[in-house]
């Protein structure tokens, strides 16, 4: 009997600006232990883990006295690398997924392909504001880092929405749902006509 492949990863990243430890298990139960020093980012990552049914631990420190950009982007890098490691074998995964999520007045549409070709379309304008130390424009930077390091094709579109909190939270919840679907083992072999990804 073939041994079940381990689909978890631990990533550490230390620079002059940030120090991050991140653990991801894509066959988890939705347990999250997040401490980034940015309460709103903690909330978004917890929502992502819960709706993706991933176990996620993030312990991060950064130069928040400058602003939140370095830390948010570097967490995106680490999460992307962890996702790439968790799905490195690609055998049997669904690969493609999409989701439409609403939160109050906001509705977002996400689609993803874990086929190894990094590309982000981020079409989600929102108010430029600060939510508990989190600058809303860095949301796109987080997703650019995530996509570049996970080799994922990801399209994010805000259909409607006025409240930045609602828009961003809907995006993170949808990301969890989409990645849960795309990483499930649903078939035999590599999901590509090329025979490899």
Residue 190 lies in a domain: no
Residue 92 CB-half CA count within 13 A: 9
Residue 3 lies in a domain: no
Residue 65 lies in a domain: yes
Residue 194 lies in a domain: no
Residue 44 lies in a domain: yes
pTM for the predicted model, two decimal places: 0.94
Q: Could you give the number of structural domains in the chain?
A: 1
Domain CATH number, residue 150:
3.30.230.40
Residue 54 lies in a domain: yes
Residue 136 lies in a domain: yes
**Residue 65: domain span:** 8-183
3-class SS at 42?
helix
Q: What is the pLDDT along the chain (197 residues), one digit of tens a residue?
A: 344 678 999 999 999 999 999 999 999 999 999 999 999 999 999 999 999 999 999 999 999 999 999 999 999 999 999 999 999 988 899 999 999 999 999 999 999 999 999 999 999 999 999 998 999 999 999 999 999 999 999 999 999 999 999 999 999 999 999 999 999 999 787 666 566 66
3-class SS at 149?
helix
Residue 188 lies in a domain: no
Beta strand 130-131 with 55-62 is: unpaired
């Amino acid at each position: 009997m073939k041994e079940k492949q381990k689909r978890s990863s631990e990533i550490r990243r230390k620079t002059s600006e940030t120090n991050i430890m991140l653990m991801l298990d894509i066959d988890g139960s939705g347990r999250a232990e997040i401490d980034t020093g940015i309460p709103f980012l903690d909330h978004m990552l917890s929502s992502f883990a819960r709706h993706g049914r991933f176990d996620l631990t993030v312990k991060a420190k950064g130069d928040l006295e400058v602003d939140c950009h370095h830390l948010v982007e570097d967490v995106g890098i680490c999460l992307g690398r962890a996702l790439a490691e968790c799905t490195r074998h690609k055998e049997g995964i669904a690969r493609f997924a999409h989701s439409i999520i609403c939160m109050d007045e906001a509705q977002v549409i996400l689609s993803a392909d874990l086929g190894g070709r990094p590309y982000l379309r981020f079409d989600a304008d929102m108010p430029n504001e600060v939510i508990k130390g989190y600058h809303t424009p860095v949301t796109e930077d987080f997703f650019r880092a995530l996509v570049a390091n996970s080799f994922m094709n990801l399209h994010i579109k805000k259909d409607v929405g006025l409240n930045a909190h609602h828009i961003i939270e809907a995006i993170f919840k949808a990301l969890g749902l989409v990645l849960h679907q795309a990483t499930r083992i649903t078939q035999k072999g590599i999901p590509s006509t090329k025979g490899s990804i």
